[in-house]
Structure 1
């Protein structure tokens, strides 16, 4: 049995279109059910984030993403930013849900809120490449407009540094995945997230150097 049943259930509906039950006609009951499932999954994710943040009380929580986007399409991959120092335009930590009902988890990353960026945000973000990386941490780079996962290796670090300079790469995140679908206890999940935090702190600190 999953430790996160609401999330696992809701992942099946990713990409579905939601309509207001009052305007959905014969689909009213189905839309009400989607709303309940979305709210339950979001709450389950938010509770995990709160438990994680309690381990790092100096980090402040931003609002958890909604269970659907502005186009009312179900967005099961929730996220939550955790701010340390500085303004909203600064890089911070974020937890993001990933995967499908059979294999899902959360990734911890160092990134900034795109809509809050300023003229220095990208330069600060890309300072993560100044720090040597080791797996299981990995890069998630926006290369010619397409986001790609890259192994956390010295070879890729050097390649990305060059691509930043020539403009091929716009933004580089460093991420660390923690599986939820195979977790046996909440304490194990939190311990794994602490390992992720320890691995990513040097990258976060690098974004403070500009």
Structure 2
């Protein structure tokens, strides 16, 4: 019988979104609050790392990169943790397959998406061109696009669009005409709590992983 997995730390940490962390020794009356903040962040990251490692074990040839910190450089909570899976030979400027925590704004439930994307701060000369080769691949639901239009470069706003041939053809033309900066391909696993065991969750991830592999490989073509 599969052991029931405890997602609580990861889910509860999303309540810290936007909050600033201060080292407890500098927090004055908020010392205990900040100690709890740090503990919750560390626990959330630990749970997410365990989930990512479980998927990595089932994906032959892929290696797990460093999991994002529970806070950013400005010491603001980063509740939507992420991590990349890469193969041997992949550079940090190339596209990989990432896991990313998200919150469904309608249901408020916590899910984890898989995506073919790259790390913005590691971007290289050909990163965008290679990433956007995903538009050369036929697409169908449940996959979908996350699109950043060229005009939104400053704030990195991304809009969601259905994964279908009509959108693919449109975005391919838009990319060729310089209207689009980047296109991600994503697969959502909604409400992780519905999967009692880690094995069950990973089985769902693998469905998305299999669908995303052709898009990932397309970004590697020369």
**Does structure 2 retain, via aligned residues, the 8 Å contact 1:3–1:186?**
no
Is the partner of 2:112 in helix, strand or coil? strand
Residue 137 (1) aligns with residue 153 (2): no
Matches within 5 A, 1:1-210: 3-84=6-87, 85-99=89-103, 102-143=108-149, 144-145=151-152, 146-179=157-190, 180-210=192-222
TM-score where L is the length of structure 2: 0.90
User: Can you give the 5+ residue segments of structure 2 that lack an aligned partner in the other structure?
Assistant: none
**Alignment size in residue pairs:** 210
Distance 1:54 1:200 in 2: 17
Q: Is the 8 A contact 2:5 2:198 kept in 1?
A: no
Distance 1:191 1:55 in 2: 9
Higher mean Cα deviation, 101-110 or 91-100? 101-110
TM-align CA RMSD: 1.6
Q: Give the stretch that moved more between structures: 57-66 or 73-82.
A: 57-66
Give me the TM-score of the superposition, normalised by structure 1.
0.95
Q: Which moved more, 1:66-75 or 1:96-105?
A: 96-105
